[in-house]
Amino acid sequence: MRTIRRPLSGTSLTAVRNLGILAHVDAGKTTITERILFATGAIHKRGEVHDGTTVTDFDAQERDRGITIFAAAVSCAWSGHRVNLIDTPGHVDFSDEVERSLRVLDGAVAVFDAVAGVEPQSESVWRQADRHGVPRIAFVNKLDRAGADLDTAVASIRERLGVVPLVVQLPVGREDGFTGVVDLLEMRALLWRAGGETYETGPVPEELREEAQRRRRLLEETVAELHADALEEFCAASALTGPTLARALRELTLRGDGVVVLCGSAYRNRGIEPLLDAVLAYLPSPADMPPVRGESGGAEQERAPDPAAPFAALAFKVTATPTGRLTYVRVYAGTLRKGESVLDAATGRTERVGRILRVQADRHEEREEAVAGDIVAVIGLKAARAGTTLCAPGAPLVLEPPSVAEPVVSVA
Ligand code: GDP
């Protein structure tokens, strides 16, 4: 169980989600990322993985190999929130990159294949996320495939990952006839139109009503078992309402006591909008995160996710692009301003921040500053590498290396 912190109130940090999509190769991470960008309006045309037009796969080598090798952070907006998607390589060979991206995430969606369930690679990525204490929700993808079965996939999540699944949806239709889901919190159906572009909400179909009620009771019982105290705290009345249950599910997610499970078919564009809603509802914002720890002049120091604190950030990815050398940074504390100098306290070297960009799918948005909780790309840094701490020159800090030293579990 993890300790959860109460967020700093009254800050826009609560409207940010730094999100990773964790999956083994082929589970559908690229398709989901692309569908998220489409659903949020960040891109206007849907690309397909097989024709190499998806936005996150912008590296030619990556396109050729059909696997996501290089991390990129892409920003989009959903329901008044900013969602920064941090790409995490799904291939174990690139585990250093996985580790680095896990460090800068606040929460993640773990993707599983509805036919295969938990596979060895999904298990090793899950364990890495465990070691970094990343709160997660699960998305069982490819429900449209022949042989797809949510219950079997959920059983494998329980058995292989040793976590308590909290299934919040019931699929409508099977395999090729999979058309939507019943939202067990709101007790309503979401049915997608043929192209998957839009969906309609309505009452639970008659033939699924009993099953939906049975599953809702199961969900309530599981939540009550895991979290009796919080339920008492939340529930003035005797019956659990959707919002009450949602609050309990959020606490369980942040504590790592259970995993909320959603389902869909990224390929058919079904299930993406409720997945985004779940990211906002259950996964933490930067304001929920504990202060980062580091070393300053031989002493341990903490910095809170507060825009007014002394600046501290981690460079986690450097790429060469036609725009220049892009250094992706996660700001943990304070504010990074264009034109100011930042210090690499480990080397004593100071560098100037040329431009600050928010990377949005196929374009960049110029920013004057980036505050605690933000993930941006900086142009103008020449020496910073992936793993470099950047801080305010007057307040040196070297962030602690990740608290994990174990090698990644190798898989057959
Ligand atoms: P990644 O390796 O995890 O990034 O997976 P991709 O997004 O590249 O998907 C791997 C393959 O599965 C591609 O051929 C996709 O078209 C396909 N795929 C992704 N999502 C679905 C889905 O929901 N249903 C089906 N049937 N295929 C899917």
Q: Is 379 in the pocket of ligand 1 (CB under 6 A)?
A: no
Distances (CA, A) of 225 to 133, 184, 212, 257: 22, 18, 20, 11
| Ligand 1 centroid – CA 134 distance (Å) | 24
SS3 78: strand
| 124 pLDDT tier (thresholds 50, 70, 90) | confident
Single pTM value for the model: 0.88
- DSSP letter for each residue of 150-170: HHHHHHHHHHHH---EEE-EE
Q: Ligand 1: does its nearest atom lie under 6 Å from the Cβ of 358? A: no
pLDDT in tens, 337-354: 999 999 999 999 999 999
Cα separation of the two ends of the chain: 30
* 23 pocket-lining for ligand 1 (C-beta < 6 Å): yes
Residue 230 in this model has a pLDDT that exceeds 70: no
Mutate to test the pocket of ligand 1, among 22, 29, 31, 93 (most ligand atoms within 8 A of CB): 31
Q: What is the pLDDT of residue 233?
A: 61
59/65: higher pLDDT = 59
28 ligand 1 Cβ < 6 A: yes
Quote the CA–CA distance of 166 and 158 in Å, as a whole number. Answer: 10
Across the range 22-33, mean pLDDT stands at 88
Q: How far is the CA of 258 from the centre of ligand 1 (A)?
A: 26
Question: What confidence category does residue 234 fall into, taking pLDDT thresholds of 50, 70 and 90?
Answer: low
Distance, in Å, from the CA atom of 286 to the CA atom of 273, rounded to the nearest integer, reads 22
User: Average of pLDDT values for 201-227?
Assistant: 94
Q: Looking at residues 124-149, what average pLDDT do you find?
A: 93
Helices (H) and strands (E) in the chain, counts: 9, 24
Binning pLDDT at 50, 70 and 90, where does residue 8 land?
A: very low
Q: Which of 26, 64, 262, when mutated, tests ligand 1's pocket best, judged by the most ligand atoms within 8 Å of its CB?
A: 26
- Atom nearest to 68 CA in ligand 1: 4
The string of pLDDT tens digits covering residues 82-108 is: 999 997 876 655 567 777 788 899 999
Alpha carbon distance 122, 411 (integer Å)? 10
Q: Is 26 in the pocket of ligand 1 (CB under 6 A)?
A: yes
Please tell me the predicted confidence (pLDDT) of residue 323.
72
The more confidently predicted of residues 154 and 365 is 154
How far, in Å, is the centroid of ligand 1 from the Cα of 123?
18
Write down the pLDDT at residue 93: 59
| Rounded-to-integer distance, Cα 372 and Cα 364, Å | 20
In the prediction, which pLDDT does 244 show?
Answer: 85
DSSP states along 258-300 = -EEEEE-BTTTTBSHHHHHHHHHHHSPPGGGSPPEEEEETTEE
Ligand 1: atom nearest CA of 31 is 7
Residues 6+ apart with CB under 8 A from 139: 32, 109, 110, 111, 112, 261, 262, 263, 264, 271, 275
For 275-322, the pLDDT digits (tens) are: 999 999 999 999 998 899 999 988 999 999 999 999 999 999 888 877
CA 247 centroid distance within chain: 19
Instruction: Report in angstroms the alpha-carbon separations of 78 from 72, 163, 220, 278, 305.
Output: 19, 29, 28, 11, 22
CB of 345 within 8 A of CB of 301?
no
Residue 359 Cα to ligand 1 midpoint, Å, equals: 24
* Mean pLDDT of the 362-374 span: 88
The response to whether residue 29 sits with its C-beta less than 6 Å from ligand 1 reads yes
Name the more confident of 359 and 173.
173
Confirm or reject: Cβ of 344 under 6 Å from ligand 1: no
Ligand 1 contacts CB of residue 374 (under 6 A): no
Rounded average pLDDT over 31-45: 83
ipTM for this model: 0.99
What's the gap in Å between 31 CA and the centre of ligand 1? 6
Distance 125 CA to ligand 1 centre (A): 18
- 39 CB-near residues (< 8 Å, 6+ apart): 78, 272, 273, 276
